[in-house]
Amino acid sequence: MGRREVLERLLPQLQLCPADYQVGALDPRSLFEVEIRAIWLEVGFGAGEHLAAMAQAFPDIGFIGCEPFINGVARLLTVIDQSALDNVRIVMDDAGLLLDSLTAGSIDRAFLLFPDPWPKRRHNKRRFIGPKNVAAMARVLADGAHWRVATDHMDYCRWILAHLAAARQFQWLARRPGDWRLRPDDWPATRYEEKGIEAGRPPVFLSFRRQDRQHPDIQP
């Protein structure tokens, strides 16, 4: 069965359009027919290796993946079809629109793995990590939720740490160099990580915790 057939058959069933919902009104748990215990979000899932592996490993968790490129979506749908996964929904749109539509505190874990670094200085403003998206992610993440971010671009790594350090809603969880140099065992690899290693670009794995809202020094 070809990817085109799988794409045409499954995408209409699994695609989520954030524009169909009012700002802050979408409860992601309502998207799933199976009983789930948490919602995890991946922004820019690429070819879908990480998202598919996680969805297979955690069938009681609902996954939402954002990816604008059709080839990556088709690859993920092929795995969903072969593995009969019923805990994945897909957004082929700006992830910022999805964040705006979600109810506050509705995401229990988020992933941003090897995003486009937009290396030219004049393009830095296009990076996903920035004041607007950091604030949006802080709003939708539940207290104690983890946000995992990976990159093999050192300038972007510094950029990420600077922006997240400036946001008091987040705490960087690293305590020793191995915490960011080594991918945790429960963090599936992606082809982008492997390509970066082959090209001599060692990856960095960053984990941040969404601080509790009731803390006196934390903004909502």
The catalytic site residues sit at 116
Q: Angle CA(53)–CA(59)–CA(65) in degrees, nearest 5? A: 55
Contact 141, 175 (CB under 8 A): no
CB 107 within 8 A of CB 40: yes
Do 207 and 64 meet the contact criterion of CB atoms below 8 Å apart? no
Q: Please name every residue paired with 88 in a beta bridge, in sequence order, or none if there are none.
A: 63
